[in-house]
Amino acid sequence: MATTTASITVSSGDLTGDALSLSTTATLTKAGSATGLDQTSGVARKFFATAQTAYNLIAAADYTADKAHKVYIKNTSTSNSEYVTVELSASPNLSIGRLYGGDWMFIPYDGNNDIDIDTSDVNMTVEYLVIYEA
Amino acid sequence: MASVRVTLGISSADVLTTALGLNVATTLTADSGTMIRAKVADTSGAGSGITVYKANDKDTSAYVYVNNLATEFEDYIYIYNDTDTDASVAKIAGGQFAFIPVAVDKTFKAYGTKVNQLIEYGVFGMDDPSNTLG
């Protein structure tokens, strides 16, 4: 059994009158179980020479539906104006949100819909990781 | 103008044959934000869930953090896009969290497996002064 943990820290010294600092850690386990997620796509990067529309980054067919998979996606651009729109495949696609340069997201993924992306500019790179179960 | 720093670490010594250690950070520009602990009264969507992000509350980009405080893995929190036909965005198990840059012009709500599940959620970004939460 593998053990994978995810930790997040949200902090700000100037958003509020007193400093904001929040940290939490989760052990990533299989659906309905205390057993750890035991498979991973590995950390991957994909370079896009041209702007993309509804590019299928993560295919639901590769993952068992209704499980407790986890997905991390990052826009590696350093430009604040270059963004990646992350979408759940549907008709039409459902926009989750935009990752501007340097932004990332970490979400649970049930494997029911493809995850597609649009890229706003040429020569953009997206980094992603799926941690999953059979 | 304030900034919020968000870091994510994903680590495992045994999900791969070599150690997995992914650490990313992003510094968000924000002039407003919330960090709220609340009960989720509803157990179905259809527009009745608790609002974790109201459409157009933020300008350009909005970042939503949701932590499911339930101790039972099976007590899920469901995040859905209330603007677009209640489409499901994430299913967060007890004890786990998500960090999602959301589409600023959509309303996102949450419901739980059980009534009155506790969540902690935060929203950060640049305020759109033409819209209020009321």
Percent of chain B clearing pLDDT 70 (strictly above)? 98
Among B23, B29, B96, residue whose Cα is nearest residue B66: B96
Percent of chain A clearing pLDDT 70 (strictly above)? 100
pLDDT in tens, A7-32: 999 999 999 888 999 999 999 999 98
Q: Is residue A82 scored above 80 in pLDDT?
A: yes
pLDDT in tens, B4-63: 999 999 999 999 989 999 999 999 999 988 899 999 999 987 767 899 999 999 998 999
What does residue B53 show for φ and ψ, rounded to 5 degrees?
A: -150, 125
Chain A stretch 46-105, residues whose beta carbon is closer than 8 A to a beta carbon of chain B? 68, 72, 74, 88, 90, 94-100, 102-105
Chain B residue with the nearest C-alpha to that of A37: B15
Neighbours of A134 (CB within 10 A): 9
Q: Which amino acid is at B97?
A: F
pLDDT for res B133? 65
Contacts of B9 in chain A (CB under 8 A): 5-8
